[in-house]
Amino acid sequence: MPGQWDARARAWLAEDPDADTRAELEALLAAGDDAALAARFGAHLEFGTAGLRGALGAGPNRINRAVIRRASAGLGRVIGGGRVVVGYDARHKSDVLAAEAAATLAGAGCEVLVLPRALPTPVLAFAVRHLACRAGVMITASHNPAGDNGFKVYLDDGAQIVAPTDAAIAAEMAAIEHLSTVPTSSSHTTVIDESIVEDYLAAIGVVTRPGPRDLSIVYTPLHGVGGDVALAALQRAGYEEVYPVAAQRDPDGRFPTAPFPNPEEPGVLDLALAHADRRGADIVLAHDPDADRLAVAVAGRRLSGDEVGWLIADHLLARPPAPGRSGRLVVTTIVSSTLLGRIADDAGAHCERTLTGFKWIVRPALAHPEWEFVLGYEEALGYAVCDAVRDKDGISAALVVAEMAATLKASGRTLLDRLDELDHRYGRHRSGQRAYRLPPPQQAVIMARVRTRPGATDLRPVADVVVIERGDDRVVFRPSGTEPKLKLYAECVDGDLDALLAEAAAWAGLG
């Protein structure tokens, strides 16, 4: 007897352009696996914090060639033609999905430029403006597990899309009744040369200043695409002692030593930390698989994203202001530390807070071109340190962190010493988070519960976020925009962070 989802699955199968996902569906239909079919056809992927992202597989609730074709056609219709640049990382099928996007965009009348090989997301984000494109597409799932992939979109300002563009693309996708009506083309598509990498490296080189370069660095790209570009950037900046973690040096979409290749996850940096210990290295720098995030460790301790953000802000705001600008700007998010505002005040800079995600962090900079954009950061290890890339960029951020560490080393200090000095100046700010893998219905129950807490500020309908403040203590709850997680953030000043996190989890009924 046919299952509930058989008809939808067979209709999808009839138009699926990929032999692998056709075979997957045929096997599920033959097995009568209605639960697996429901997971693929009972919902569809929606634009979230970073575009479309999900598990690879068949159906509208997975990432596959059919979904990428629909998304690319939707984008092509919204922008109405023009030049588009397409990039991809080294995840499973990223090259295949990028080719699908390129062919579909060309079929929509766009001139399509494709990056020469698997490259970091920041290179794609840079290329959008550098090549005068109407839009950019990056095939990546950033730091997600190996079985995921995604479709990330930028417009001509070099920033990630926000409303109403995302809704417009989604509407155009929904209007496509049959995939066979979507034209594709192999013409009007050009694979560009390596000069785009050279141009990117030259552009981000402006973040460095002359100074000490005596620094021993252990570096890992976590099996991602950051290795060649990051090592070239560090070498050009003058760092001669850079030691990659050999087991994680080359791109490998299986992520064999890091099943969850997010440098925030426990244990992910263990190989790098051990390598640094053996070498007596001064610092560990780690990128996630598409090199848009940066993790930093010193003396065996990984710094939090907030700590790195404070250090970068303190360092960059100590430089003279850029000539011809009426002010300086730093930006962070509502779930990141409040300390950035105090550092900015002392430097006479503007500080703004936005919703979570770099698609929002760059908006104040776009709104105030008269100000020098010094830093945008989020606690999830994302940093923008110059206007060349209007998104988080782990490679340019690594140059700034290396410069800080080398400068401090020349005076006999480390980044940890500098953090102690910031504690002395501003009070001991401590921030952290916990993430709970929960299905969306359970997340909704918990969010409803915390909305009833005393002191709760509900940010709906702007965002599904609840902020609870109590004196200098601050707690934020929000569902992740990229993974099935509920996230809890906390910050305290001269207090017990672990106790605050535990108390907040108890409020929510989380274990």
In 3-state terms the chain splits into helix, strand, coil percentages (rounded to 5) of: 40, 25, 40
pLDDT at 416: 98
Return the pLDDT at 50: 63
Residue given tokens 């709970």 in the structure block: 436
Span 429-508 CATH architecture: 2-Layer Sandwich (3.30)
**How, if at all, do strands 327-333 and 382-384 pair?**
unpaired
The H or E element containing residue 124 is helix 121-130
Low-confidence ranges of the chain (pLDDT < 50): none
Q: What is the pTM of this model?
A: 0.95
Strands (E), 51-128: 52-55, 82-88, 110-114
Domain with CATH 3.30.310.50 in the chain: 429-508
Q: What is the reported pLDDT for 126?
A: 98
Q: Which helix (H) or strand (E) holds 309?
A: helix 305-317
Nearest-angstrom CA–CA distance, 510 and 326: 47
CA distance 54 to 483: 8
Which member of 94, 142, 304, 480 is catalytic?
Answer: 142
Residue 45 is predicted with a pLDDT of: 94
Where, residue-wise, is CATH 3.40.120.10 in the chain?
6-193, 201-425
Architecture of domain 6-193: 3-Layer(aba) Sandwich (3.40)
Nearest 10 degrees: Cα torsion 411, 295, 137, 331: -60
Q: What is the pLDDT of residue 3?
A: 77
Per the annotation, the verdict on 142 as an active-site residue is yes
Class of 201-425 per CATH? alpha beta
Residues 67-126: tens digit of each pLDDT: 999 999 999 999 999 999 999 999 999 999 999 999 999 999 999 999 999 999 999 999
The model's pLDDT over 319-370, given as tens digits with 9 standing for 90+, comes to 999 999 999 999 999 999 999 999 999 999 999 999 999 999 999 999 999 9
Query: What per-residue confidence (pLDDT) applies to 486?
Result: 95
Cα–Cα dist 246/105, whole Å: 38
Identify the pLDDT of residue 30: 94
Task: In whole angstroms, give the CA distance from residue 213 to residue 238.
Answer: 6
CA distance 132 to 93: 28
Distance CA 124, CA 226 (A): 13
> Are the C-beta atoms of 406 and 215 separated by less than 8 Å?
yes
Report the pLDDT value the prediction gives residue 484, as an integer from 0 to 100.
85
Tokens at 119, concatenated: 């490259």
